Amino acid sequence: MYYSIFRTKAGWVGLEYSEAGLRRLVLPVAKQDNVKKQLLVAKEGRFVNRDYPGDLIYKIKSYFDGKPVHFDCQLDLSSATAFQRSVWKAIMNIPRGQVRSYRWVASQIGNDNASRAVGQALARNPLPVIIPCHRVIYHSGKTGGFSAKSSVADIKRVLLRLEGVDIMGANPAFPVVT
């Protein structure tokens, strides 16, 4: 197992990856040590500090600079269930700057009654931003949950604002596809 920790405009970000691909992304935090704690790199022998190959770090820095980015890295989702992988695959098709509802995602995976289960799968997303769970909101326009550990709605709003979406108002100025 490998990790990379690097600074972006938004703060310190961490990546965990294996030979099979990217396994986890820690969203920006103020202190580098907090990223290490979240990745559990303090456990000797579990991780090796190594820069992630390719241009992923550059793309993540660009994302937090507010630039459009297409993430095309190999993912290691081996610890996920088949249901979680189907949900995550569906949301990876939501374009930057757009949002969809939990109901829409449930429909995309062929189970119109699975909105709550979709929410649970998104809450377990180990790769926020790469698998853009922040683009899924309630059909009413409220943010709903998020896989990040702190201030859920605030982080979701920040990520959406980076993509040009403002969901602060009660009547969103964008269509929520349901």
Q: What is the pLDDT of residue 142?
A: 75
CB–CB of 67/15 below 8 Å? no
Instruction: List the alpha helices (DSSP H) in the chain.
Output: 32-39, 56-64, 82-91, 102-108, 115-123, 152-162
Per-residue pLDDT of the chain (178 residues; tens, 9 = 90+): 888 999 999 999 999 999 999 999 999 999 999 998 888 765 555 667 777 878 999 999 999 999 999 999 999 999 999 999 999 999 999 999 999 999 999 999 999 999 999 999 999 999 999 999 999 998 877 776 554 454 445 788 889 999 998 876 433 433 444 3
Q: What is the pLDDT of residue 145?
A: 58
**What residue ranges do the domains of the chain occupy?**
2-64, 82-162
**Ramachandran region, residue 45 (left: φ > 0; alpha: ψ -120 to 50; beta: rest):** left
Q: What is the pLDDT of residue 16?
A: 92
Q: CB neighbours of 5 closer than 8 A, spacing ≥ 6?
A: 12, 13, 14, 15, 32, 35, 36, 39, 49
Report, at the CATH architecture level, how domain 82-162 is classified.
Orthogonal Bundle (1.10)
Tens-digit pLDDT profile for residues 113-144: 999 999 999 999 999 999 999 999 988 777 76
- To the query of whether residue 73 is one of the catalytic residues in this protein, the response is no
Which is the catalytic residue, given 35, 133, 167, 176?
133
